[in-house]
Structure 1
Amino acid sequence: MKARFAGYVYAAALATVVTSGAFAQDKTFELKLSHWVPPSHPLQKALEDWGTSVEKDSGGTIKFKVYPAQQLGKAFDHYDMARDGIADLTYINPGYQPGRFPIIGAGELPFLIANGKGGSQALDAWYRKYADREMKDVKFCLAFVHDPGTFHSKSKKIMVPADIKGMKIRPAHATMATFVTQLGGTNVQSSAPEVRDILEKGVADAVTFPWGSIPLFGIDKVTKYHMEVPLYVTTFAFVFNKDKYNQMSASQKKVIDNHCTNEWALRVASPWADFEHSGIAKLKAEGHDVYTISPEQLAEWKKAAEPLHKSWADSVKKAGGNPDTIMNELKAELVKFKSAY
C-alpha cells in the first residue's frame, strides 16, 4: 500500500516537473481581461475563474487582471478594444453594433432560445463555424447567452404588441430595437449601466432586460411592471487580441485554446443563468407587479415577431450567407442541448 502511495506521489511530482518544464523558457504575459458590468455581477467571478485556471495551467506564465465596469473603455467599444490591444480578452455584446455581426444576431430573435445554459452551449457550438468570418479581427474564444429577458416598465403593463405604440424603450440589442420600431415605439439607446438613469429621468418608459440584472443595476427602483414571458436572449462573446495570442509559445497557445471551448461557454454562462432566473422571485418578493399573459396574447406577440426573422435573413444574405442553412443549424443545436423554445 505504501509503495503504491509513493508511486502516486512520484507520478504527481513528475507531472508537475514536466508541466513546469514545458513553460520554463516561456515569456510571462499579464492579460488584461475587460468587461463593462459591475464587479458584483456574476461575470466578474467567471472571468476571475477563467484567468485563475489559465494561470495555473500555464505554470504561472500567463497572469491576469480583471477590469470591470468600463474601466478600460465603454461597453460599445469592447470588440474594438480587443482588436486594438487596449485589452487582451473582452466581453462583447454583438447587438450593441447593429449590422456589424449579422450571423450571430440569429440568437437575438424572440421565442427561439428557452434557457440560458443549454442555449449558451447551442449558440457556442453553432457559431464556431462562422466566427472566423464574422469576427476576423480577433481570436474568437467562446459565445453564450443570458437567461431569457422581457419587458420591464415604469407606468403600465405591456400586454400585447399594440401597447408598445408611442412608448420610449431601451432595447437590449439591434433585434429588439427593430421590434420596438415595427410596433410603433421609439428606441432609446444606452448601455446597461446607464439604464436606471434614463428611466429615472423619463428619457425611456421601459426596458428589455433579463430578470436578475434589474435589481443589480438598480432598475427595480424605477420600474414596477414586468411581463413574465421568456421573450428574448442576448448573445455575448469573449474575444481575444490576435497579436497577444500570436506572441505566445505553442504551449501557452494551447492553454488559451483549452479555455476557449464549449465546456467553458457553459461554465461562464451557468452562474449568470441561475442569477438571472432568480430575479423573478426577487421582484415578486419586493412587491413588483410580475404578470403573465394569455395564450392568445402570446400568439399575438409571436405573429408580430415574424418580420424580424425576414430582416435577419436579409442581413445574412447581404453578408453572403445562406440564412435557411444557418438557422436550421442553430435550431438543430438548440434541440441537441434541450434549449429550443
Structure 2
Amino acid sequence: MLALAALAASGMAAAQDKPVELRFAHWLPPTHSLAKTGFEPWAKSVEAASKGSIKVAMFPAQQLGKAADHYDMARDGIADLTWINPGYQAGRFPVIAAGELPFLIGKPGPGSAALDAWYRNHAAKEMPDVKYCFAHLHVGTIHGKKPITEPAQIKGMKIRSANGTVAAFVSQLGGTNVQVSAPEARDALEKGVADAITFPWDSIIGFGIDKAVTHHSDMRMYASDFVWAMNKNWYDKLSANQKKVIDDHCSNEWAGKVGAAWGDSEDAGQAKLAKMPGHTIVPVSAAQVDQWKKAAEPIYAQWMQAVQQKGVDGKKALADLRQELEKRKAN
C-alpha cells in the first residue's frame, strides 16, 4: 500500500509540474540528418518522459545567433540549450580539442561515447558557465576540386578547416586556413576563397557543397567535437521531476546514441556521392595514410602543451582518452 501511495504521489507531482519551454538553438538546416536522427528524437523523448511538462522549441539555422556564439548563448540565456562546436573558437576550449586530433578516432558512435565519458572529468572546469549535457562527434575527410591523397599537396592550398585543430594541421602543412562556419562554406568554395574543405560525407550534400567540390578522399582524417550545453538558470528552476528527466537525457548513453545515429547517416553520404555524376571517391593507400599520421605528430605535441598551460597533464589526459577509445573499439 505504501509503495502504491508513493507511486501515486509521484505521478501527481509529475502531473502538477509547471509547464516549461526549452528553447533549443542550433545552426544546422532543419532538414539536416543530425536534426532528424539526434535533435528531434531527443526532444520527443524529453517531452514524453516529462509527461508533456517540458516542451522543446527548436530554433535551427542560426535563428538566435551565429554558429560560433552558441556557447555564450547558453551561458547568457539567449537559448536554454545549444549545440556547440568548441573548435569554432580555437584555443578557448583546449581540453575537449583532444577529440579533434587527426586520425585518432575512426568510429563516431563509440567515439562519441568515449569522448563524452572522458570529458565529463574536465567539463566543469573548462565550461563552468553552463550545465554540460553531453558531447559527441562526427568523423570526416577532405573534399576538394582535385584529388588529394598526400599531405604535401596541402602546401599552397586554401582550406576551409573544420575546427582549430584541423586549422593548425593545415597551417603546419603549408596551407592557408579559411575560417568560415558550415553554413558559409559553400559560398567560400564557389567564390574561390577556399579550394577544399574538411567535412563529413553526407553534410557535403546537405549543405549543397557537392555543387562546389568534386573529389572526396577516402580516409578517416579528422573528427569534430560537439557539446550540448544548457543554461544553468533555466535548469535550476525546474522541478525535481523535470531535473531528473533532463539528467536522464544528458547522459553518456545519449552521447553514444546520437553519435552513432548521426555517424551512420554521415557515412552513408559516401555511397551517395559515388553515384552522383561528376564526383570521384579518391582512394588513399595505407602508406599514404601513414604519411598523414606522421605529419600530424606535431599537432599532438601542440595539444599537450596547450592543455599543460591550463593545468592539465596532457600526457595522462591523452592516454586516458585513448584508453576510453580502445575500450569501445572506436579507434
Q: For residues 169-318 of structure 1, what are the structure 2 equivalents within 5 Å? A: 169-287=159-277, 288-318=279-309
Note if contact 2:109-2:258 (Cα within 8 Å) is conserved in structure 1: no
The structure 1 residue matched to 2:158, chosen from 168, 171, 174, is: 168
Letter in 2 for 1:26: D
CA distance in 2, matches of 1:191, 1:86: 20
User: Residue 327 of structure 2 aligns with which residue?
Assistant: 336
Q: TM-score if structure 2 supplies the norm length?
A: 0.95
Is residue 2:25 matched to residue 1:34? yes
Aligned length: 327
CA distance in 1, matches of 2:7, 2:58: 27
Shift of residue 249, structure 1, vs aligned partner: 1.8
Note if contact 1:44-1:66 (Cα within 8 Å) is conserved in structure 2: no
In structure 1, runs of 5+ residues without a counterpart are 1-10
Q: For residues 52-67 of structure 1, what are the structure 2 equivalents within 5 Å? A: 52-67=44-59
User: Residue 8 of structure 1 aligns with which residue?
Assistant: none
Q: Cα RMSD over matched residues?
A: 1.6
Letter in 2 for 1:54: V
Is residue 2:67 matched to residue 1:75? yes
CA distance in 1, matches of 2:281, 2:199: 14
Note if contact 1:165-1:183 (Cα within 8 Å) is conserved in structure 2: yes
Is residue 2:99 matched to residue 1:110? no
Q: 1:181 to 1:62 in 2, by over 3 A?
A: same
Q: TM-score if structure 1 supplies the norm length?
A: 0.92
CA deviation string 1:170-216 (max 9, x = no partner): 00000010011111110011110111110001110000001111111
The structure 1 residue matched to 2:137, chosen from 141, 145, 165, is: 145
Q: 1:126 to 1:316 in 2, by over 3 A?
A: same
Note if contact 2:111-2:325 (Cα within 8 Å) is conserved in structure 1: yes
CA distance in 2, matches of 1:104, 1:58: 31
Note if contact 1:19-1:59 (Cα within 8 Å) is conserved in structure 2: no
User: Residue 34 of structure 2 aligns with which residue?
Assistant: 43
In structure 2, runs of 5+ residues without a counterpart are none
Letter in 2 for 1:56: A
- Identity across matched positions, percent: 56
CA deviation string 1:248-272 (max 9, x = no partner): 1222111111110011112222221
Shift of residue 16, structure 1, vs aligned partner: 8.1
- Which secondary structure does the structure 1 equivalent of 2:152 belong to? helix
- Which secondary structure does the structure 2 equivalent of 1:120 belong to? helix
